[in-house]
Chain A
Amino acid sequence: MKDQEGQESYAPGRTSRRRSRFLGWNRRLAVALAAVTVVGTVSLGAAGGGTAGAVSSTTRAPVVNLTWWTMWSGTTLQLLNTMVTQFNKTHPGIHVTETNIPSSATTSTAKLLSTIAAGDPPDIFTEWWPEIGSFAADGDIVNMNQYLTGQYAGFEKWEYPVAVQAASYKGGLYAVPMSLNSWALYYNTPLLAEFGIKSPPKTLAQFDADQAKMWTFSGSRIVTMGFYPDTDGNGFQFYTTFFGATNCFNKAGKYDFESCPGAKAEMNWIASFDKYPYAQVMAEQTALGYVAGGQTDIFTNGKSGFELSGPWVGAQNIPVSNPDLEGRFGVEAFPGIVPKPSTLGQGNFNIIPKGSAHPAQAFEFISWLAGYHNESFVGSIDPTGGWVPAGPTVTKAPKYQAWLKANSWLSGFLPQMTSPYTQAPLLTATQAQLFTAENTATANVLQKIMTPSQALKYIDQQANASS
């Protein structure tokens, strides 16, 4: 077991002769250790530094190297690679390298912000739109007005109005769409017929009545459903244009959804769905891929009569996840209380972080990506992604037109882009807070945790918090 004697071994006097030897040894070894560490570290650094920037660049003369970070992956990434290759080919003075930034657990913003703070950001970043207001207000991204000269003087006019609206902060343009989204009502034709609904609803009252017919259960499990306002990022905000509740400010310029009649009507409408089992619906959505960021969902699976979504559902989700549904669904404008059609103006935007080494070339790239003076190429790419482009002339491109003709269900999406009722939320410094609060409020109302008026008050409170 253990030595029971426990001798004290540091008896002074005995060690005086040995001490110098000990210290000599220890010192030598300590130095050796430090040397090894330093040498190891330096050589690692050299190796790492040497290869850190190593991107294959087989170009000769002064070429501007741009780095582009996106969170796209899978098939979309392949699309982007095609675009980047084309750009590099047609722009010999610029070389773009695209890197996918995995955004599991939405940590890509942390990475971007770190690089901006450290002064070494990528040149272009594809951002999720609610951040644009906060970034612009904090000076994290570049104001592109300075580049809207020469051949770009007509850029803003070239874009859809809502694309400019959604990216402007205090008169400056801060982002250019990679793709815009247009939101309309999908309906499952045979499923509707099963419940005796011969044609899609044209009024909100009719819609409510129709969807209510379509809920059937087996025990506690949902077998079929009519409609449920998505809370996965598609909550309150996405229906505001149908109710005239997109930009509700009071005279002092503060958010005021509480007093806004459209907002009240909308929140009450959302609350009318609180009789359906929130947990079960969320469970279905989650199992079908929302957790992984995918959008295979209840409608794509053929279990839901209606869904509010964009062209990618018909262009990508259904063909890939449920080909049986092809040709058996339709799209129409959402029957809101405000004249139709309309859509919320939002999408995926490219921004130029502050500190980018070559912002002018970065702007050249992102405007090219948007389709400016590049309509036929982008017009051939967008159909694959099911994207609405940033400007109307792209939709006139032959491939895009062909796509529209081949898919009659697409006819609902484009006219909305130019509708006067289509709006984008005004960019403010607290846009991220607003968006988050709207989603929380929607979820809480659906779970009966908040009443509609409490929810609106909550939104105001969060969005008006000082930034």
Chain B
Amino acid sequence: MPTSSSRSTRRLGGSLAKHATLIAVSVLLGFPLFWMVLTSLKTNPQSLAVPPLWWPHPFVWRNYPEMLSAVPFWRFVLNTLMYAGVTIVGVCVSSSLVAYGFSRIRWRGRDILFQVMVGTLLIPFFATLIPLFTMYKNFHMVGWYLPLMIPTFLGSSVFSTFLLRQFFMAIPESLSDAARVDGANEFTIFSRIILPMAKPALATVILFQFIYCWNDFIGPLIYINNQVWYPLSLGLNLILGTYTTNWPWVMAAATAATAPIIVLFFFTQRTFIKGISIQGTGVKG
């Protein structure tokens, strides 16, 4: 019979093992970023030193204010926030509706149409670029974010729709049935029952859409013509010199672009990782 002290020793040992593994993987995954931040604080020659230099001597903190003032950094951030904000609304509204239709109602041809939707991901962007661009031009949408924003209100984010559909499918049909029996119409079921239960999934979608917009390069590159409206991803490119590369600045720019998301993720990750708590017959999440 294990004694209480040996049981707690085992628990302590188990906990140590867990932490050790986590720390080991953290080092592997986190090391390149650690390097990125360190490099951002070096001088240019130091960043190119062989053998590689670990610690900057001294810490060149002014890389950050210098880099940030070389380009209209905050303007770019604002543009990106606007881009992200609008598309998040569009995605939440349209993708949840479409996902509901593909999961909570059984109708003929549903699954085939769903696979068609997922299939639209399979054609490479550059292949359809010319006709796509010409089409947007004929709709008078080119020059600003319109080709990137409007489609999100029409279910263009297959990623979000697919993800929400998978989560919606995990909710027991009995909940919907009970509501239908009570006389609720489909939209009420959608908005009052399913959607609240999928809050974590929605939060996940919002986070991913935000990050997608934050880093989206190709889309804005093709459709936006006015430098004033560039998002951060394009604006940072202005820092990369044509003939000389200021590595510390590049890394500082990357750090500055990543830091807000790290903070955002850290404080919100509980919300969406919590998963779906399935109410009803005593199931806890």
Contacts and interface: CB of A to CB of B under 8 A. Distances in A.
Nearest to B242: A76
Interface stretch (A317-325, A368-376, A409-417): A317-325
Nearest to A289: B245
Contact of B237 (A49, A52, A55, A102): A102
Interface string B156-180: 0000000000000000111001001
Contact of A117 (B50, B133, B226, B247): B133
A25 to B, nearest CB: 5
Contacts of A287: 48
B172 A117 contact: no
Interface string A284-301: 000111001111100001
A73 interface: yes
Interface stretch (B9-17, B109-117, B182-190, B203-211): B182-190
Contacts of A74: 238-244
B100 to A, nearest CB: 12
Given A44-B86, A99-B227, A117 B239 contact: no
Nearest to B154: A37
B245 A114 contact: no
Interface residues of B, number: 63
Interface in A105-126: 107-108, 110-111, 113-115, 117-120, 122
Contact of A99 (B140, B225, B250): B225
Main secondary structure of the interface of A (DSSP, over half): helix
Interface string B139-155: 01111111001100110
B65 interface: no
Interface of A: 1-3, 5-7, 9, 18, 21-22, 25-26, 29, 33, 36-37, 40-41, 44-45, 48-49, 51-55, 67, 71-77, 99-104, 107-108, 110-111, 113-115, 117-120, 122, 221, 287-289, 292-296, 301, 312, 316-317, 320-322, 386
22 contacts: A2-B172, A9-B181, A18-B183, A22-B185, A25-B187, A48-B141, A67-B225, A73-B240, A74-B242, A74-B243, A76-B241, A99-B226, A101-B221, A103-B237, A108-B221, A111-B222, A114-B129, A120-B142, A287-B48, A293-B242, A316-B244, A317-B243
Interface of B: 44-45, 48, 50, 86, 93-94, 97, 126, 129-130, 133-134, 136-138, 140-146, 149-150, 153-154, 172-174, 177, 180-181, 183, 185-188, 217-218, 221-222, 225-229, 234, 237-245, 247, 250, 280-283
